[in-house]
């Protein structure tokens, strides 16, 4: 290799490194300026940089998987509506179209062209979850997308630096939280600006006029690396099927996973058809979570970009719940979509059992609430919040599952003290739920028990979107199932896992998040670990004795 080529290679590697830093800064800016609590406290966002062909070159580590791969697709849609030759400095484009964005109206996607010396060099895109966009609210009750809130087609948010005031007025008028929502739109736009500025600095420093060579390098290297990982796997097709609660009837997710020389393809033929309610999943979101699951097993440390995503493909027949067409209702698409890594794992388990965990809770157990506040709302709605919480993850082949931890979602839990600052609710309990981790040689992660009451003399609305109540995570190789989720009043009445319900003052809402499933026979579990679990109260004495066949030392005599 000649000298200049050598330096060229080193510089390309360094610029790649820099690109990842640039989008990470973009994401951090978004997180720090967001109003929506699920973004600022929990990181429900994503950010990335794209070349002029719409290929994603880098994605921020901060963020959540469902947004990432679907945002990657959305940039291509932006390019169709706003061809690059029409882009001007100071422009920014917006949509929340679930089929061109990230799967539901709450996610605003904003794309900003990046200019250097008057020449368009790249696109920055970001997305985050806005708390309220009107309609029926952030729950699964709608029967079509039009009921789910304000639908923003592909529009200019900024035209050469000038904000689209008409659109902003429309947004403000169509949300229960006008100030926060408007603020979030600004914060999305600002983070792209920050990314663009850094990219231009990098190009100045390295003296490059376009990202073409860098983009080709990043994409080619990433694709090769993923293909090299795939080459190590046996070839063939494996099947799996998993049933989850659905809205009013169970949903069966069927997958055929094919590993070939050219990649891994997952096909969802045979999956249940669309739901009447808002748990339908647009195709981009199906792809996002399926590919994320594959990535975790096959290409853990390869950065996400168009190249690394390319060998991982997904298909689902139109009209099934995983390729729901417009205008089906999609607000709570995450409930089904986040199950997809588990579905893919069920196939991969037959291929590389040592790398794949047991089934887990998988879908977020967000407690979506809204209601009136004390002392009047001044013409506004009151409060509304998605309080993020989680169940347990599935046992790993060599380790227990993680308790009260989000997977596959990348969001963080909402601190109780923050939830109580933002809402008039009072949490009486939020702690581990003993015995909810599926028993096994390695144990599933535990779920949580929460008790929530209105802190004022007003009822509040629960927009339930929970799953794994009827169909818990299934144990593997003799391991036990994870504990099933429960939604109920403390006074006894069981509530629905999905849909709007009113929680009257004085009633305590009990939420028991599911546990992850176990792997292997419980009696094979290391006795010290059983003793520790018992001492820590993670399992009951009864479970220790009956399920783990554990005899405390003194009883053994």
Partner 1 sequence: MINDLRIAVDIGGTFTDVVLEEGVRRITRKLLTTPQRPEEAVLEGVRLILGDAGKGFGDVGVFVHGTTLATNAVIERRGARTALIATEGFRDVLDIANESRYDQYDLSIEKPRPLVARAMRFTIPERLDVHGKVRLALDEGAVRTLAGRLKAEGIESVAVAFMHSYVNPAHERRVREILKAELPDLWVTLSSEVCPEVREYERTSTAVANAYVQPLMDSYLARMQTALAAEKFTGTIYLVTSGGGLTAIETARRFPVRLVESGPAGGAIFAAQVAARAGESRALSYDMGGTTAKICLIDDYQPHTARLFEVDRAARFLKGSGLPVRIPVIEMVEIGAGGGSIARLDALKRVTVGPESAGAEPGPACYGRGGRHPAVTDANVVLGTIDPAHFAGGSIALDIDAARGAIERDVAEGIGLSTEMGAYAVYEMVSENMASAARVHAVERGSVVNQYTLIAFGGGAPLHAARVAEKIGVQRVIVPPNAGVGSAVGFLAAPVSFELVRSRYMRLDAFDGEAASEMLDEMSREATALVAPGARGQPTFERRVAFMRYVGQGHEIMVTLPQRPLTAADTAALREAYERDYGVLFERHIPNAAIEILSWSVQVSTESKRPEVQGGAGSAPAPEPVGRRPVFDGRSGKTTDVPVYRREKLPPGSVFSGPAIVAEDETSTYVSASFAAHIDASGCIVMNRKAA
Closest approach of partner 1 to the CB of residue 270, in Å: 27
Helical (H) or strand (E) element with 165:
helix 165-173
Q: Where are the beta strands (DSSP E) in 77-170?
A: 92-95, 107-116, 119-129, 155-159, 162-163
Closest approach of partner 1 to the CB of residue 342, in Å: 12
Helices 178-206 and 3-33 sit at what angle, rounded to 10 degrees?
160
Q: Which two tokens stand for residue 96?
A: 């929340």
What is the three-class DSSP state of 103? coil
Closest approach of partner 1 to the CB of residue 21, in Å: 5
Do 323 and 375 contact (CB within 8 A), yes or no?
no
Do 359 and 516 contact (CB within 8 A), yes or no?
yes
Distances (CA, A) of 11 to 213, 218, 549: 11, 12, 60
Closest approach of partner 1 to the CB of residue 514, in Å: 14
Nearer to partner 1, 61 or 155 (CB): 61
Q: Please report where in the chains the tokens 């169970």 appear, as a residue.
A: 250
Closest approach of partner 1 to the CB of residue 374, in Å: 11
- Which of 205, 199, 198 has its CA nearest to residue 11? 205
Q: Which two tokens stand for residue 381?
A: 């709605």
Closest approach of partner 1 to the CB of residue 120, in Å: 20
Nearer to partner 1, 136 or 426 (CB): 426
Q: How far from chain centre, in Å, is Cα 42?
A: 11
Closest approach of partner 1 to the CB of residue 248, in Å: 29
Nearer to partner 1, 259 or 348 (CB): 348
Closest approach of partner 1 to the CB of residue 83, in Å: 27
The Cα 360–Cα 289 span in angstroms is: 15
Do 401 and 480 contact (CB within 8 A), yes or no?
no
Nearer to partner 1, 413 or 480 (CB): 413
Nearer to partner 1, 159 or 193 (CB): 193
Nearer to partner 1, 336 or 406 (CB): 406
- Look at the chain and count its residues: 557
Nearer to partner 1, 61 or 150 (CB): 61
Do 451 and 429 contact (CB within 8 A), yes or no?
yes
Helical (H) or strand (E) element with 528:
helix 527-535
Q: Which two tokens stand for residue 310?
A: 């390319």
Q: How far from chain centre, in Å, is Cα 380?
A: 29
Closest approach of partner 1 to the CB of residue 418, in Å: 7
Strands 383-387, 119-129: pairing is unpaired
Nearer to partner 1, 80 or 527 (CB): 527
Nearer to partner 1, 232 or 491 (CB): 232
Closest approach of partner 1 to the CB of residue 404, in Å: 5
Residue 193 makes CB contacts below 8 A (sequence gap 6+) with: 112
Q: Which two tokens stand for residue 528?
A: 């010290």
Nearer to partner 1, 100 or 199 (CB): 199
């Amino acid at each position: 290799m000649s000298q200049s080529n050598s330096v060229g290679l080193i510089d390309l590697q360094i610029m790649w490194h820099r690109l990842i830093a640039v989008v990470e800064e973009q994401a951090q800016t978004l997180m720090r300026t967001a109003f929506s609590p699920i973004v600022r406290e929990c990181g429900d966002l994503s950010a990335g940089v794209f070349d002029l062909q719409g290929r994603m070159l880098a994605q921020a580590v901060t963020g959540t998987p469902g947004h990432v791969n679907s945002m990657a697709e959305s940039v291509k849609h932006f390019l169709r509506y706003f061809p690059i030759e029409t882009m001007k400095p100071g422009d920014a484009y917006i949509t929340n179209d679930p089929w061109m964005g990230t799967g539901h109206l709450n996610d605003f996607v904003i794309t900003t062209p990046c200019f250097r010396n008057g020449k368009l060099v790249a696109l920055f895109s970001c997305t985050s979850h806005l708390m309220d966009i009107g309609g029926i609210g952030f729950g699964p009750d709608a029967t079509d997308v039009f009921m789910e809130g304000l639908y923003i087609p592909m529009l200019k948010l900024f035209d050469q630096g000038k904000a689209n005031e008409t659109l902003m007025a429309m947004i403000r008028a169509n949300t229960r939280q006008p100030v926060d929502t408007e603020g979030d739109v600004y914060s999305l736009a600002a983070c792209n600006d920050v990314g663009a500025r850094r990219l231009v600095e990098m190009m100045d420093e390295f003296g490059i006029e376009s990202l073409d060579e860098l983009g080709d390098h990043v994409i080619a290297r990433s694709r090769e690396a993923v293909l090299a990982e795939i080459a190590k796997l046996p070839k063939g097709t494996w099947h799996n099927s998993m049933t989850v609660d659905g809205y009013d009837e169970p949903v069966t997710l069927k997958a055929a996973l094919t590993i070939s020389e050219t990649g891994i393809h997952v096909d969802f033929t045979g999956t249940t058809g669309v739901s009447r309610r808002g748990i339908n999943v647009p195709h981009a979101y199906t792809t996002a979570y399926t590919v994320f699951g594959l990535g975790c097993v096959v290409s853990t440390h390869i950065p996400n970009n168009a190249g690394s995503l390319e060998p991982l493909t997904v298909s689902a027949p139109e009209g099934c719940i995983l390729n729901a067409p417009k205008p089906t209702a999609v607000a709570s698409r995450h409930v089904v979509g986040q199950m997809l890594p588990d579905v893919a794992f069920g196939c991969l388990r037959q291929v590389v059992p040592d790398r794949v965990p047991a089934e887990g809770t998988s879908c977020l157990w967000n407690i979506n609430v809204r209601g009136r506040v004390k002392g009047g709302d001044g013409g506004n709605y009151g409060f509304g919040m998605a309080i993020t919480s989680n169940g347990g993850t599935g046992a790993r082949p060599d380790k227990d599952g993680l308790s009260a931890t989000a997977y596959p979602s990348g969001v963080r839990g909402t601190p109780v003290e923050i939830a109580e600052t933002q809402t008039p609710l009072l949490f009486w309990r939020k702690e581990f739920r003993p015995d909810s981790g599926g028993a096994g040689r390695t144990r599933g992660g535990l779920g949580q028990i929460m008790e929530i009451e209105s802190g004022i003399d007003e009822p509040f609305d629960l927009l339930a979107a929970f799953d794994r109540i009827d169909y818990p995570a299934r144990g593997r190789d003799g391991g036990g199932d994870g504990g099933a989720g429960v939604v109920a009043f403390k006074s006894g009445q069981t509530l629905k896992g999905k849909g709007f319900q009113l929680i009257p003052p004085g009633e305590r809402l009990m939420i028991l998040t599911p546990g992850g499933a176990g792997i292997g026979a419980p009696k094979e579990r290391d006795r010290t670990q059983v003793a520790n679990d018992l001492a820590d109260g993670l399992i009951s004495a009864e479970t220790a004795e009956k399920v783990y066949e554990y005899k405390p030392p003194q009883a053994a005599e």
